[in-house]
Structure 1
């Protein structure tokens, strides 16, 4: 089953990735994002990547969206039924587990194409030996309090969620209990196609 995971705000998708459902149960949805899977990404209007400019320019300069593909080895991505985050398992080119990527985001909203969420900038990388590294704290601080983003009180709650997940990871508690770390996709699986309806109004 092909699944569309979209990030956006104000009814508009800013980023979308296409995956294959490998588990869908009471815990949440788990996807395999294969190398070369189609995706939609936002770039500056002149084609430069967003991270090539300052935070202020990144927020204020006009953007366009374009279809690209997932670059690098495939990942497993898990979105819980309840929780304002997703977790991705990263692998090397030869399939060895590289670590967990915790993405703080709004509670995903389920729809006929997949899930919609809104990114909250703050991330955490956890190595296989369970050492956490905060990421994008400068962007998180810069966006806090800006119109359409999160308030300082909400920022504290977002950081608290990340801290709780770090505690689970360091204690090897689910979902950081070894699941998916040895995952190997079926080599017969085709690369999924991007849904022609990917730009339906974003729901998160």
Structure 2
């Protein structure tokens, strides 16, 4: 499934059958490492927030996972990120950039294996976030992120089980192995990326939550 450079892809994160985030992106390219997407600063996105207006910090990770949520429009802040969707892995890799365009580092987002689909002519990448992540400095040194949240969510209804948790961590360990060896995608590619100035900000289609 090759998607054309410059076309729109909506990345959706689900928990169960319910979407809790939708990120409109633009296709940069696709090669053997995966589908590369650009999420521009200022892009209109949708994120799931607690329905009563409180934050995770207010109620704690466990309570926030069980309380009702509502989908609210926001804008993606910052200079924009590149997002690599590999052909068959349980992670995506994000390139972060500073305000001056210089490369800040990679963020390994551990998530369910992505499903690509087209619904009513709209291209989607669907997945579910698995909380645990890995941050990589430009020199490829690394650190785990959100380990406490990952532990708190393990075993809760609608999340991963204790038996599945080691498999999620193993996805991060595979990323770490790639980084330590300087293998693609940690071989310097895309660290000097600049988006095509002709690309418009993508928007969410009216029925972005369609199955």
Q: Shift of residue 7 of structure 1?
A: 0.3
2-side partners of 1:25 and 1:177: how far apart? 14
TM-score normalized by the length of structure 1:
0.93
1-side partners of 2:49 and 2:184: how far apart? 35
Runs of 4+ in 1 over 4 A off after TM superposition: none
Q: 1:85 to 1:38 in 2, by over 3 A?
A: same
Q: Deviations over 1:41-93 (max 9, x none)?
A: 01111334434431122112221111111111110000111001000000001
User: Is the CA contact 2:33–2:184 (under 8 Å) kept in the aligned structure 1?
Assistant: no
TM-score normalized by the length of structure 2:
0.90
Corresponding residue of 1:105: 111
Which runs of no fewer than 5 residues in structure 2 stay unpaired? 1-6
2-side partners of 1:94 and 1:3: how far apart? 26
> Match for 2:62 among 56, 61, 65?
56
> Match for 2:191 among 169, 181, 198?
181
2-side partners of 1:188 and 1:63: how far apart? 36
Corresponding residue of 2:93: 87
> Secondary structure at the residue paired with 2:172?
helix
Which runs of no fewer than 5 residues in structure 1 stay unpaired? none
2-side partners of 1:132 and 1:27: how far apart? 21
Corresponding residue of 2:169: 159
In the TM superposition, what are the counterparts of 1:18-29 in structure 2 within 5 Å?
Answer: 18-29=24-35
1:11 aligns with 2:17: yes
1:142 aligns with 2:152: yes
Corresponding residue of 1:70: 76
Cα RMSD of the aligned pairs, angstroms, is 1.3
Q: RCO higher in 1 or 2 (8 Å CA, sep ≥ 6)?
A: 1
Corresponding residue of 1:46: 52
User: Is the CA contact 1:98–1:128 (under 8 Å) kept in the aligned structure 2?
Assistant: yes
